[in-house]
Amino acid sequence: MSSNVGLSTPRGSGTSGYVQRNMSYLRPRDQAGPIRDSEQLQKYRQRAPDAEILAHDRKREVEVKCLELQDKLEEEEYYPSFPPPLEQY
Positions of the chain with pLDDT under 70: 1-7, 10, 12, 30-42, 79-89
Q: How far apart are CA 65 and CA 58, in angstroms?
A: 11
Residue 9 lies in a domain: no
Beta partners for 5? 2
Domain that holds residue 64: 51-79
DSSP per residue, 12-79 = TTTS-------TT--PPPSSS-PPP-HHHHHHTPPPPPPHHHHHHHHHHHHHHHHHHHHHHHHHTT--
- Domain count across the chain: 1
Residue 42 lies in a domain: no
Q: Return the pLDDT at 47.
A: 81
Q: How far apart are CA 45 and CA 86, in angstroms?
A: 62
- For 61-83, write each residue's pLDDT tens digit: 999 999 999 889 888 887 666 66
